[in-house]
Structure 1
């Protein structure tokens, strides 16, 4: 697909992307209509307050919290948004009827470890009259939908290139992990529900894989700005129990310079941001940890910070845990939550970014750190670590992956080894 015109981009909350539509039987038109209505409602708020500033939006949504607020969109605008060129509007009416009468489940996956569940239709009201559509979201959802803190950007031009409901649903569910490079492992039944398929369908995984997954992946790779380059199957015994999708930007997709399409935070990046981890540091973590390991460590950090008041520098503590060789046990498994030992206190009390360490370190210290890194990596067993070790031994220290890994190692080592810190110049 080639980008030809600038197209609207929707910020869509992950609780809607990650929702179970299998019982409501959402079709392709309904999915596209939802995106158009969400986009128009958010535009209406921005027009009303005259700004897209986060604080202004927060103030408006807090002020109108719990209120039933109607929105409207010209029928011709909605038809343009979803590339609907027929004068038979029965499909649009059916889509609105289904959205207002069929309940869907929200947040059936919550990567922050919080068990949340809600069920309701996405529209509480819809009407088509005089060339306009009037609609309303349930007040319980409105604040989240219209100024989400965690969202994916959905380009309406890309959504309209899909001809399969499952392809669009899969695209929305994997696209938000583009910065991480892979999705979590979706249990097979969960993936079916996210794609709007009843769990009793495709009893044999082979049929589900052939008729749904492979077709959707092919369409996504051909029509969108991302490429699913590997579908990893997880097995329990001989049975496929889960699926992970590995993704990257689609080099064949042309993006115009003036497009609004951007890649926003996934919930993982947002959680790290809330912990004080910078974007550059986050990327290093994504390079190092799998999604499962990242989820486990984020949950452990959040639990510890909620239960302990003696951690003076949460960002430094989080950085240390994220870079540790093993995930620390949660506070519940400890016999006490006493003040951390001296070594831990040194780790969390302060840290220098690698760029500052590199600036202040002598050539001799940097050589020593590189020798220490090579020695440490020589004992690693994963294929990725072995590859980094080989690159380091060959002296290619300007390699991006090696640079990120070495930087993380140096930062952690310098916090622990105070004898090394004293060799830094002011």
Structure 2
């Protein structure tokens, strides 16, 4: 959780693509696990609306566990992760508004406690001020965060994401890079060959496969020794749809209002609608409303969005099951169903919205009714999934 800037909030000279010295960096020392990194981002997201106006922040502990992605009854793991954040140091070195150099250090969390099923926590005033400044820090989209399986990959993503507008991180010394990756204390990674094989290459591969950016490492040498590293950064067009829309549009929807009525923060409500789409979230809200007697609606909604609770059967499309089930068309439709089923609920929603954005008129109406089984869009659907999965339809020639 360090070194990042939200793309949509960059202004002035930053939009022109030049790396300016007044852009601050927050470096986090110590070794954060993948779970701790995710926890830190969720806590910040929950607190963001009142980060500087309110000292203490609260979130239901079971909801927090669900958002991180582990057993909601595992309070010991949550305690250990909170303890790790309180023991981890954040450091910044930057120019203030008056051009004066400012160095500072703070624990990631000033304190945290669990009581009555609620997690209460606070940031130091100085760190809260920095975290609240979009020129210094950025929130991570939780939908993208959930995709990561490696703490090193998530750390690399967080440290590269703020430079997406400038196209490059700029040069980092290997010493600083090892700190950012949490391996500064390991003599093994002082050798670049080991650092590259075990940290850089796997992390780059996961960022490029998982996130909304594509990164390419470059090194600088003194003689034959690698001394510095930087990362070229470009948007990943296939996953750019997962970016959070910070516009006012989402706040005008009835779905947003219903989520807020449950006590969810503005930022989290917008992120859920932005990630999953209004229709998907509305479906889950309706499902929960029909259960009756739900004690923790926010926690239930969190689980419902993740696990696709109450997913209704799609409308039957015409000619989905041809008379000859072994025909090329039947096999192609079956293959499309397999490809859709292999995606996560969030990915499925993103796929649907991306494809729908390309349609107009009757073609759009047919897809909205029949989804991926739409006969009117058969060729476009095949091309869409072939692009996502090259070779997916090899050997399935139409009759």
Task: Name the TM-score, length of structure 1 as normaliser.
Answer: 0.48
Inter-partner Cα distance in structure 2 for 1:20 and 1:155? 19
Inter-partner Cα distance in structure 1 for 2:246 and 2:110? 31
Pick the aligned partner of 1:217 from 196, 200, 204: 204
Inter-partner Cα distance in structure 2 for 1:217 and 1:255? 20
How many residues align structurally?
Answer: 229
Query: Pairwise mapping of residues 92-107 of structure 1 onto structure 2 (< 5 A)?
Result: 92-107=78-93
| Cα distance change on mapping 1:85 and 1:154 into 2, 3 Å | same
Residue of structure 1 in register with 2:42 after alignment: 36
Pick the aligned partner of 2:223 from 210, 230, 237: 237
1:260 aligns with 2:244: yes
Root-mean-square deviation (Å):
3.3
Residue of structure 1 in register with 2:178 after alignment: 192
SS at match of 1:220: helix
Residue of structure 2 in register with 1:51 after alignment: none
Pick the aligned partner of 1:118 from 89, 104, 111: 104
Pick the aligned partner of 1:18 from 17, 23, 26: 26
Query: Pairwise mapping of residues 346-365 of structure 1 onto structure 2 (< 5 A)?
Result: none
1:76 aligns with 2:62: yes
Inter-partner Cα distance in structure 2 for 1:132 and 1:227? 38
Whichever of the two has the greater Rg, that structure is 1
CA offsets, 1:145-194, max 9 Å, x none? 23444433411111121111111111011111111111111110100101
Pick the aligned partner of 2:137 from 145, 151, 154: 151
Inter-partner Cα distance in structure 2 for 1:15 and 1:179? 13
CA offsets, 1:205-255, max 9 Å, x none? 000001000000000011101111x31110011100001111111123261
Cα distance, 1:117 vs structure 2: 2.7
Query: Pairwise mapping of residues 295-314 of structure 1 onto structure 2 (< 5 A)?
Result: none
Cα distance, 1:196 vs structure 2: 1.5
Cα distance, 1:73 vs structure 2: 0.7
Inter-partner Cα distance in structure 1 for 2:208 and 2:140? 16
Inter-partner Cα distance in structure 2 for 1:26 and 1:40? 20
Is the 2:45–2:139 contact (alpha carbons within 8 Å) kept by the matching residues of 1? no
Inter-partner Cα distance in structure 1 for 2:226 and 2:208? 23
Inter-partner Cα distance in structure 2 for 1:76 and 1:241? 45
Query: Pairwise mapping of residues 363-382 of structure 1 onto structure 2 (< 5 A)?
Result: none
Query: Pairwise mapping of residues 274-285 of structure 1 onto structure 2 (< 5 A)?
Result: none
Residue of structure 2 in register with 1:423 after alignment: none
| Cα distance change on mapping 1:232 and 1:109 into 2, 3 Å | farther
1:133 aligns with 2:139: no
Is the 2:153–2:206 contact (alpha carbons within 8 Å) kept by the matching residues of 1? yes
Is the 2:169–2:231 contact (alpha carbons within 8 Å) kept by the matching residues of 1? yes
Which stretches in structure 1 are left out of the alignment for 5+ residues? 1-8, 46-60, 264-426
Inter-partner Cα distance in structure 2 for 1:106 and 1:152? 14
Task: Name the TM-score, length of structure 2 as normaliser.
Answer: 0.51
SS at match of 1:118: strand
Inter-partner Cα distance in structure 1 for 2:32 and 2:117? 24
Inter-partner Cα distance in structure 1 for 2:90 and 2:233? 27
Cα distance, 1:127 vs structure 2: 0.6
Inter-partner Cα distance in structure 2 for 1:200 and 1:70? 36
Pick the aligned partner of 2:73 from 67, 73, 87: 87
